[in-house]
Amino acid sequence: MGLWWFLPGLSSPISQSAATSESITDAPAPPLAAVLGIASLHALGLALSQLIFKLSRPPLHRVWYSDDILYEIFSYLEPADAARAGLVCTHWHRNAAHASYREVTLHTSSTFSRSLARTLLYNPDLRRHVRHLIVVHCAWYPQDHLYEWVRLIPPHSLQTCRIFGVPEATTRLQAMVNARVEIACFGYKYPEEVLLQNIATANNPARRRWLQKMLAADWLLDRLRRYKDDIEAVSRYRSFPDAIEHFADGIQLVSRSPARILVTTAMSGMGGTISHERVDAVLDALGKYVAVASILSVNLMYDETKDSSLPTVDEAAAAIKYFAPLRCLCTSGVSPDDADFPSDALLLGTVGGTSTRLTVAVAKAIVDRVWRDAMPDGRVLRTVCLHMEYDGPIDNLTEPCTVCGLSLLRMFYIV
């Protein structure tokens, strides 16, 4: 039998080639061991095992981290720096790409924002890494195509959202976001009859087209600088009051009659993260717009009860309950105590108006009048909305109080 007796299909060494060529052709193919020999087969196995070992281990001449560790490191970088780090190698690129999408900024005047929105819409792997969203919407009309991808973000993935721009253009975006939200909207508009009259008398075709564009728009906002400056002004590394102040420096509102102005700010946070001092800081940042407003509305929204949920707009309009109107802040007994509010109230609000213009001090006093950190049943404040506007002189109001400057004050609540 010889040395080859234990190999199947062979009864003699390969050197024993007495068989004819016809019998060799008909015989089954010999195993690999028969072709290479035991020693060669063993050497091949060692070589393959060493190759697999080298492929599974990182090179010793450079540092190698797992994906989780690399992503954690890149998450501390600015998105632009993380993108540059992704050029080092494919391993870094995979993790740096995710980190570079951690913070997304969209501006309606930027062509890059449109490309970025398309990328996030069609790439769920990148979309799920977005944690902070900043939107600067200065266009006079909605651009919902920029925000379609937001509704596809996994629940609780987005942590913060900051929206600056014109009122009502981002209403759909605001409804999509389930995160800590900060909103500051500025706008002005002319009455429709004024625009139609000016269109009819305009001799310049360019001016006529401009007035027609204003007529078709809802709210207007004049920007005074490049969009990159707007993005820097509203960076999430700035506090919300500081971002409002820097953004307001680069815009312009027409506050003279017959134009109407509207400024809306909103802050939401879970667990009682909104403080009275923070609201006062926002009013200070809005000082130049408070000074041209005649009406201020303050809405405080609290956590839902176990047996209730937030009403729709129509339901809220039907469920609103008003206290008796008051002359001004100086009226005795003006502040209802906690016993006057139902324990299950979801929203508390007040509206202060004057026949002239407001001041920051009066605006803060209006907030003080309705402010409650928590409801009697322990539910904490979740959202604060400040809504100020000027719609021309209000003729049906009495002369403002010589002490507080208000002509009317009214408080309300929604259950």
> What amino acid is encoded at 288 in this protein?
K
Predicted local confidence at residue 279, as pLDDT = 93
237 closest CA partner among 101, 85, 83, 78 = 78
105 closest CA partner among 128, 73, 82, 137 = 137
Q: Which residue has the higher pLDDT, 266 or 341?
A: 266
* Residue 254 burial (C-beta neighbours within 10 Å; 0-12, 13-18, 19+): middle
To the question of pTM greater than 0.85 for the whole model, the response is: no
**Tens digits of residue pLDDT in 319-364:** 788 888 887 877 655 556 655 777 778 888 999 988 888 999 999 9
Looking at the predicted structure, is the pLDDT value of residue 61 above 60?
Answer: no
Which range (246-250, 270-274, 306-310) has the least confidence? 306-310
Q: How confident is the model at residue 265 (pLDDT cuts 50, 70, 90)?
A: very high
Q: How confident is the model at residue 69 (pLDDT cuts 50, 70, 90)?
A: confident
**Tens digits of residue pLDDT in 192-242:** 888 899 899 888 888 888 888 888 888 888 888 888 888 999 998 899 999
> Tokens at residue 144, please?
């919902």
Looking at the predicted structure, is the pLDDT value of residue 275 above 50?
Answer: yes
Instruction: Give the residues across from 155 on adjacent strands.
Output: none
Averaged pLDDT of the chain: 79
Whether the CB-CB separation of 266 and 320 falls below 8 Å is answered with: no
Looking at the predicted structure, is the pLDDT value of residue 133 above 80?
Answer: yes
> Tokens at residue 260, please?
């109407």
Instruction: Give the residues across from 189 on adjacent strands.
Output: 260
Place of tokens 């970025």: 116
**Tens digits of residue pLDDT in 181-202:** 999 999 999 888 888 998 998 8
119 closest CA partner among 95, 78, 152 = 152
Looking at the predicted structure, is the pLDDT value of residue 7 above 90?
Answer: no
> Tokens at residue 111, please?
């062509």
Predicted local confidence at residue 106, as pLDDT = 92
